[in-house]
Amino acid sequence: MASPMRSLLTDPARYLQSFRLFLEKSTEHQSMREFIEKELPTLIASVGNGKSTINILSVGGGAGEIDLLILSKVQARYPGVTINNDVIEPSADQISKYKEHVAKTSNLENIKFTWHEETAYEYESRMNAEKKSKKWDFIHMIQMLYYVKDIPATIRYFHSLLEAQAKLLIILVSGSSGWETLWKKYGSSFPLNDLCTYISSADIRRMLDSAGLKHQFYELPSHMDITSCFTEGNKDGELLLDFLTETHEFSKTAPPELKRQVMEELKKPECSEKRDGKVLFNNNLGVIVIEP
């Protein structure tokens, strides 16, 4: 009998619900904000040198919270310079949230936003069909490489669009995170189809090394409160389990033995730590900055 388990991505509404809860329960955005505050100004220090317009490409821009922070740092470094900010994002819902964020943010007069409702692969295919290869001063891909079929080819393509002083910034889960432990052990039992690949910063760094691409690496500490996952029937806990396993209604559809093993695994020190009566999942992030 086929397992009733199916990929969380087959239900976009539930996926977004679980993703938003993940952001609420984790220090993900906080960790990224700290990195953008402390490290980004140095990284972008020369991307716009001598330019009257700076072109930025956001691949998988989501709802735009992190994009707007990045843009504020570029504005601070290059005051008054026109910025073209193009966003590739397949979810119409996320794009409308992004537009709401833009509407509520002041000091964006010198930024021109263009949204492309498509995947990175669709963007690449369209550009190739139109025989266009626009160059960019800064490209960032934040938490999106899991949803790409051919990761080395995608990185190669966007890397080829960098201007001479440009940077390509990639953020995804770190090779030292609980995700790495959980997915290396149980990924093959989850119903991923081809909608999502489990990948960490360690895998990407190996790809870059074999392609001979120079890069810098930063590890960002982050955690997610998964305490509610251990209360049977808790709605938030069920959504977080869906997100952790990329499985639609994991706690209802997973075979009992797999569910038992995953719940055990989540409590182990390789995945989580217990602090103040809470179970905090290791959500560490890896930041990779690639030169042209």
Q: Which residues are known binding-site members for substrate? A: 28, 283
Burial 20-36 (b: 16+ CB within 10 A, else e): ebbeebbbbeebbeebb
Q: How many alpha carbons fall within 13 Å on the CB side of residue 158? A: 29
Q: Are 77 and 48 spatial neighbours (Cβ–Cβ below 8 Å)?
A: yes
Task: Indicate left, alpha or beta for 64 from its phi (over 0: left) and psi (-120 to 50: alpha).
Answer: left
In sequence order, what are the residues at sequence separation of 6 or more whose Cβ sits closer than 8 angstroms to the Cβ of residue 71? 56, 83, 85, 108, 111
- ∠ CA 63-65-68 to the nearest 5 degrees? 115
31 near 220, Cβ under 8 Å?
yes
Annotated binding-site members: 28, 283
